[in-house]
Amino acid sequence: MTRHIVTEAVVLKAKAFSEADRKILFLSPELGLLDAFVYGTARGKSRLASGTDTLSGGLLYLYHDPVKGVYKVTDLKSSNLFLGIKNSLPKYYRALLWSEIIIKSLGGQDSSKVVFSLFHSCLEWLDKLESPAALDLINLQFLWRYLSYQGYTMGTEY
């Protein structure tokens, strides 16, 4: 594996690591679930701060240190910040539920491309939808498809 990696990703969790740094957990179609450090995000002038917030998506440029076994975000191109989700509490709770399910089930392990595609497309739909009934339907759709990808449902996949 090379030291410099470029991958599409959605940040599932972001937390403060030190005074000015952040540690993120993201889902990538190629790498699955992965932790990475983002240095200097709390200083206020960092261009990486908004793109590495929870439920932000885009292209991540990573550096892998094979000696320490850690990843560092060196750059990013934000393609979707999902502001419609972040500005609506019902939408935000649904998206966080999906994130926690993916985290707790280890991101589908071998099916990370399928899980990433499902998660990203459902986030895009959730970002656009407005009616409460539609929010419930997209929530059920995500949960049902995720369970079927993991092999917990009987019958055919849709």
Nearest-5° Cα angle at 92, 36 to 136? 130
DSSP string, 17-63: -SSS-EEEEEEETTTEEEEEEETTGGGS--TTTGGGSTT-EEEEEEE
The model carries a pTM of 0.88
pLDDT in tens, 16-37: 888 889 999 999 999 999 999 9
Q: Which two tokens stand for residue 144?
A: 């049902």
pLDDT in tens, 97-145: 999 999 998 765 677 899 999 999 999 999 999 999 999 999 999 999 9
